[in-house]
Amino acid sequence: MNSDKREAMFSRFKAANPEPKTELEYSNAFELLIAVILSAQATDVSVNKATRLLYPVANTPEAIFALGVEGLTPYIRTIGLFNTKAKNVIAACERLCTLHDGCVPEDREALEALPGVGRKTANVVLNTAFRHIAMAVDTHIFRVSNRTGLAPGKNVLIVEKQLLKFVPKEYLLDAHHWLILHGRYVCLARTPKCPECSVSDLCDYKPKTVLKEAQVAGTSGAAKYARKTSKKKSSKKPSQAKKKVPSKVAK
């Protein structure tokens, strides 16, 4: 994908969704941090269901730390890996209280030093809460970047660096949200919704382009295959049915 196509891609994303937002529910940097920790290998929907119950009870490092692992676990039991996440959240809250006066640090190194916080989580917090230019590459963004040709790479770190290099500067701040939403709802892992894709003509993914063109013409690849198959079958001589031998009539 060349620079003109990248420019056009994000121009269309912005026109359709001028102010993209995360689907995680939060009201401050701390709530976002906890939600992102909980979202690892879990859906935003499941995290939101849990935090809607948790945050009215405890939404500060001090309050959640006071719950302890046993007190926190019932609130997040419906989320995958809840035992490990409960331990990480309590440990992170303790560290925030003792080292950062209960505040979420606006610094990558300090964020990544918190239990349960890796590079992707730190990038989400820096970009979403503090509006820093940062690119959190999850499975959706990794797929979209490689499939479309936007920023191909063998691992998430390479893709992150490629995105920061190739995404036009005016779109960098919100690029993370546009890409994750595109991967979550349009450029799906198994069957991308090519006919619904607003950037299909810019995409380097050849099967998607063929599917788009075929459906616009009113004929899918499957339909073409079905017609060819039926023609081959019709050209063959029908097999003659075996003649039934009449049974002997009883005298």
User: To the nearest 10°, the Cα dihedral for 68, 71, 75, 80?
Assistant: 60
Q: Could you give the CA distance from residue 198 to residue 200 in angstroms, rounded to a whole number?
A: 6
- 84: in domain: yes
- 251: in domain: no
Residues 146 and 179 occupy one common structural domain: yes
Residue count (the chain): 251
Q: What is the CATH number of the domain that holds 53?
A: 1.10.340.30
Q: Which of 157, 244, 247, 145 is nearest to 204 (CA)?
A: 145
- 156: in domain: yes
Provide the 10 A C-beta neighbour count for residue 217.
8
- Contact between 31 and 19 (Cβ < 8 Å): no
- Contact between 26 and 130 (Cβ < 8 Å): no
Catalytic residues: 120, 138
Q: What is the pLDDT of residues 61-92, one digit of tens each?
A: 999 999 999 999 999 999 999 999 999 999 99
Residues 158 and 187 occupy one common structural domain: yes
Residues 124 and 175 occupy one common structural domain: no
Residues 140 and 122 occupy one common structural domain: no
Which residues, including other chains, have CB under 8 Å from residue 157's CB and lie 6 or more apart?
Answer: 119, 137
Q: Global pTM?
A: 0.81
Q: Which domain holds residue 14?
A: 3-20+135-193
Query: Of the candidates 112, 128, 144, which is a domain's last residue?
Result: 128
Q: Which of 108, 119, 110, 80 is nearest to 92 (CA)?
A: 110
- 239: in domain: no
Q: What is the pLDDT of residues 167-203, one digit of tens each?
A: 999 999 999 999 999 999 999 999 999 999 999 999 9
Residues 146 and 122 occupy one common structural domain: no
Q: What is the CATH number of the domain that holds 186?
A: 1.10.1670.10
- 177: in domain: yes
Ranges of the chain with pLDDT below 70: 208-251
Q: Could you give the CA distance from residue 138 to residue 246 in angstroms, rounded to a whole number?
A: 73
Residues 63 and 92 occupy one common structural domain: yes
